[in-house]
């Protein structure tokens, strides 16, 4: 279900989240869509020889969960991305359960632009991504 929070109803401090377990199918599907077949993501033998010892999910796959929160949770329907800053803090492994969260930190009422702090944590509570988004809420 896609939420449609009206701009006027959004308050600084509002939050929303989305959780997902990253599967092998997710990693392969993302590789197919993006064209990023780096062996660190898709080749188990290769990945064994890396500092991680196993395959890791694409960083942007992790970041896409933030987009899910913004597009379907808060602000939801009729939201347009203007920018997204992301810092990748820790690897994400196949089987990790991630929780992406956003928090409203600024509002520009004239332009209906929101600034959101964004972050993703894994099942151990470790932050794997942090950032900030600027979005415009279109009334539709």
In this structure, is residue 86 part of a structural domain?
A: yes
Q: What is the DSSP letter of 13?
A: T
* pLDDT (tens digit per residue) in 32-54: 999 999 999 999 999 999 999 99
DSSP E strand stretches across 4-126 = 15-21, 79-88, 97-108, 113-121
What is the distance between the alpha carbons of residues 32 and 93, in angstroms, rounded to a whole number? 18
In this structure, is residue 90 part of a structural domain?
A: yes
Percent with pLDDT over 90 in the chain = 96
CATH code, 98 = 3.10.129.10
Domain total of the chain: 1
In this structure, is residue 29 part of a structural domain?
A: no
CA distances from residue 54 to 32, 67, 133 in whole angstroms, order as listed: 20, 26, 30
- pLDDT of residue 140 exceeding 70, the answer is no
pLDDT at position 126 is 98
* pLDDT (tens digit per residue) in 3-27: 999 999 999 999 999 999 999 999 9
What is the distance between the alpha carbons of residues 8 and 104, in angstroms, rounded to a whole number? 13
What is the distance between the alpha carbons of residues 21 and 30, in angstroms, rounded to a whole number? 14
What residues make up the domain containing 114?
12-22+57-137
Average pLDDT for the chain: 97
- The reported pTM is 0.95
In this structure, is residue 67 part of a structural domain?
A: yes
Give me the mean pLDDT over the 70-86 stretch.
96
In this structure, is residue 83 part of a structural domain?
A: yes
* 8 Å CB contact between 56 and 92: yes
* 8 Å CB contact between 121 and 59: no
R_g of the chain, CA atoms, integer Å: 16
């Amino acid at each position: 279900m896609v939420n449609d929070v009206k701009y006027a109803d959004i308050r600084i401090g509002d939050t929303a989240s989305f959780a997902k377990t990253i599967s092998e199918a997710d990693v392969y599907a993302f590789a197919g869509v993006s064209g990023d077949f780096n062996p660190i993501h898709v080749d188990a033998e290769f990945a064994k020889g890396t500092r991680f010892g196993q395959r890791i999910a694409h960083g942007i796959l992790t970041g896409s969960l933030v987009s899910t929160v913004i597009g379907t949770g808060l602000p939801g329907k009729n939201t347009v991305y203007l920018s997204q800053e992301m810092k990748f803090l820790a690897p994400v492994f196949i089987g990790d359960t991630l929780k992406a969260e956003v928090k409203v930190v600024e509002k520009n009422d004239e332009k209906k632009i929101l600034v959101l702090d964004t972050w993703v944590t894994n099942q151990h509570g470790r932050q794997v991504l942090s950032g900030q988004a600027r979005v415009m809420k279109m009334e539709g």
